[in-house]
A = this chain, B = another copy of it.
């Protein structure tokens, strides 16, 4: 009786499993392959990839060319006036949809002296000791057992060579399983993302047809700090401006002219204080125009499992700026940031002078509702409303004698924001794909705070874009001791497999 019962249960469970998990269970396959995958990752990270080092960049290109060709991709090295753009294509059906994946092959410049390892381009495997310090362990240990919390340290280990390896590994696993794609694929590897993507962005028109696709998936940046599968539907843009305010024509002795020659530092203080209230909210007219976080949006933002207390204590502050109710809400608004301010004179001893000029270097993060040129125009109007003559150059002597308040404003509208609707076809498909694969809803980021340099491509190519960030948040991106958590590599491969298996 017991035997029959057990058998029945087993059969039922098996049938249930087949019914609900029609897709392949990839976990075991990824784990089996992981030593090889890590070896490949180590190989790629060992090739230096600072964009200014063209010779090594081309070695990286050779390496990925070999890999993509093994997977029967058609590889093109698209010429630009600077470094080329790597493009790998696989067409399954001319009538099918096409997804363009964007990743980058270059890494940030390195200062080896600041790294806790000999060479940032000789990746090391590390585990954390009881004190929380990262200790190098022997690479041979990956042959027997791999701890997902181990990390590989090296430049570009995470940003952005980890996603390249995840994608390659997923494609290889799919090929082995003879799984076919339901859509055409184009994969761009940018060789200059860390230095503003000059080659790629300057050839958007030239290669418009080559880059043409129905959707764009950007595989870059860190996942939510919880390391759960994350989808990011937009990012803020950034505009910049510099404001200079003038005092007397030359620096003046603070004894001879203190109380007489106006001090531009106080002028600037009045001006900046008029732009933001004491709680950090911008009070320039219409600055937040058009932004409304309705109930659904607020719910979407609240779904992100941020621990605002952890963010606050991490920053080391008593109170955040009063823009949104929580961290995610604050990112839905344009910001106004003075990144640096300086008077002209700074020498040893700090001579007691009244400065003749002060300059504030400002950046404005943008959201979809507020484009750069418009936001900067609001700032200009605000300065004028404070009684300033606003110029785009230094004042003439005659202007100085006529206008008590003169400001120079130079503006760069920069890069606008993008945001794709989470309920768009690609949004919905990606959400459902990841939910099916991981048995829980992915974390949905409506807008991330930073700016992806290739946002202009989204606008020129006119393709809905979604960012799929897969590396651990604490990867020391752009800094010494950059690293990737091995658990994130496995999970990223699984995300790639799910995305490559989805039906469009």
Contacts and interface: CB of A to CB of B under 8 A. Distances in A.
B339 A351 contact: yes
Interface in A253-304: 253-263, 265-266, 268-273, 275-276, 278, 280
A340 interface: yes
Chain multiplicity (copies): 2
A408 interface: no
A352 B323 contact: no
A382 to B, nearest CB: 14
B259 A319 contact: no
A360 to B, nearest CB: 7
Contacts of A339: 254, 343, 345, 350-355
Given A259-B330, A265-B338, A268-B269, 18 more contacts: A235-B255, A236-B255, A238-B254, A249-B315, A258-B336, A260-B315, A260-B321, A260-B323, A260-B327, A261-B320, A263-B280, A266-B280, A316-B400, A317-B400, A318-B401, A339-B355, A342-B342, A352-B363
A249 B316 contact: yes
A315 B265 contact: no
A316 B248 contact: yes
A418 interface: no
A3 to B, nearest CB: 59
Contacts of A276: 266
A112 interface: no
Contacts of A318: 400-404
A183 interface: no
Nearest to A274: B273
A311 interface: yes
A350 B341 contact: no
B238 A365 contact: no
Interface residues on A, range: 35 or more
A259 B341 contact: no
A247 interface: yes
Contact of A321 (B259, B269, B335, B351): B259
5 contacts: A252-B315, A258-B335, A338-B355, A341-B341, A342-B346
A450 to B, nearest CB: 3
A379 B440 CA distance: 57
Nearest to A324: B259
A317 B262 contact: yes
Given A342-B342, A397-B316, A403-B318, A273 B262 contact: no
A333 interface: yes
A227 B378 CA distance: 51
Output the residue of A259, A261, A266 with the most chain B CB within 10 A. A259
Contacts of A256: 448-450
Interface in A72-100: none
